[in-house]
Structure 1
Amino acid sequence: MNLTGDERLDYLLAEDLTIIQSPSVFAFSLDAVLLARFVQVPIQKGSLVDLCSGNGVIPLLLSTRTKGTITGVEIQERLYDMAVRSIEHNGLDHQLTMVHEDLKVVVPALGWAKHDVVTCNPPYFLTPSIEEKNRNEHFAIARHEIMCTLEDTVKVSSDLLKQGGKAAFVHRPGRLLDLVTLMRKYRLEPKRIQFVYPKMGKEANTILIEATKDGKADTKILPPLYVYKENGEYTEELKEILYGSPA
Structure 2
Amino acid sequence: MDKFLKYPNEQIDDLLCDGLKIIQKQDSYKFAIDSVLLANFIKADKNDRVIDIGTGSGVIALLLSAKTDAKEIVGIEIVGEAFDRAVRNVKMNRLEERVKIVHGDLKEAVKIFGRESFSVVVTNPPYMMINEGKISPNPSIAVARHEVAATLEDVAKVSWQLLSFGGCFYMVYRTVRLVDVIYKMRSLGLEPKILRFIHPKAQAGPNLFLMMAKKGASGGIKILPPLVVYNSDGSYTDEIKQIYFGKRPEV
Give the distance between the partners of 1:237 and 1:230, measured in 2 at CA: 14
| Residue 245 of structure 2 is aligned to residue 243 of structure 1 | yes
Native 8 Å contact 1:128 1:140 kept in 2 = no
CA deviations over 1:68-92 (Å, ceiling 9, x no partner): 1011010000000000000001110
Percent identity (aligned): 40
Query: How far did 1:114 drift?
Result: 1.9
Native 8 Å contact 1:115 1:160 kept in 2 = yes
| Residue 172 of structure 2 is aligned to residue 170 of structure 1 | yes
Give the distance between the partners of 1:245 and 1:182, measured in 2 at CA: 32
Pair 161,200 (structure 1): closer, same or farther in 2 beyond 3 Å: same
Matched AA of 1:160: L
Q: Which residue of 2 aligns with 1:60?
A: 62
Q: Aligned ranges for residues 7-26 of structure 1 at < 5 Å? A: 7-26=10-29
Matched AA of 2:104: E
Native 8 Å contact 2:172 2:211 kept in 1 = yes
Matched AA of 1:231: D
Pair 86,128 (structure 1): closer, same or farther in 2 beyond 3 Å: farther
Matched AA of 1:220: K
Report the 3-state secondary structure (helix = DSSP H, G, I; strand = E; otherwise coil) of the residue aligned with 1:231.
Answer: coil
Question: Mind listing any 5+ residue stretches in structure 1 that lack a counterpart?
Answer: none
Equivalent residue pairs, number: 244
Q: Which residue of 1 aligns with 2:142?
A: 140
Report the 3-state secondary structure (helix = DSSP H, G, I; strand = E; otherwise coil) of the residue aligned with 1:227.
Answer: strand
Pair 232,117 (structure 1): closer, same or farther in 2 beyond 3 Å: same
TM-score, with structure 2 as normaliser = 0.93
Matched AA of 2:157: K
Query: How far did 1:30 drift?
Result: 0.5
Pair 162,226 (structure 1): closer, same or farther in 2 beyond 3 Å: same
Q: Which residue of 2 aligns with 1:232?
A: 234
Give the distance between the partners of 1:67 and 1:125, measured in 2 at CA: 30
Matched AA of 1:5: P
**Which of 120, 126, 130 is the aligned partner of 1:127?**
130
Native 8 Å contact 2:120 2:163 kept in 1 = yes
Report the 3-state secondary structure (helix = DSSP H, G, I; strand = E; otherwise coil) of the residue aligned with 2:4.
Answer: coil
TM-score, with structure 1 as normaliser = 0.95
Question: Mind listing any 5+ residue stretches in structure 2 that lack a counterpart?
Answer: none
| Residue 95 of structure 2 is aligned to residue 92 of structure 1 | yes
Report the 3-state secondary structure (helix = DSSP H, G, I; strand = E; otherwise coil) of the residue aligned with 1:191.
Answer: strand
Report the 3-state secondary structure (helix = DSSP H, G, I; strand = E; otherwise coil) of the residue aligned with 1:198.
Answer: strand
Give the distance between the partners of 1:157 and 1:149, measured in 2 at CA: 12
Q: Which residue of 2 aligns with 1:79?
A: 82
Matched AA of 2:55: S
Q: Which residue of 2 aligns with 1:215?
A: 217
Q: Which residue of 2 aligns with 1:118?
A: 121
Q: Which residue of 1 aligns with 2:181?
A: 179
Q: Aligned ranges for residues 152-171 of structure 1 at < 5 Å? A: 152-171=154-173
RMSD between aligned alpha carbons? 1.5
Pair 165,138 (structure 1): closer, same or farther in 2 beyond 3 Å: same
Give the distance between the partners of 1:167 and 1:127, measured in 2 at CA: 24
Report the 3-state secondary structure (helix = DSSP H, G, I; strand = E; otherwise coil) of the residue aligned with 2:171.
Answer: strand
Give the distance between the partners of 1:132 and 1:159, measured in 2 at CA: 29
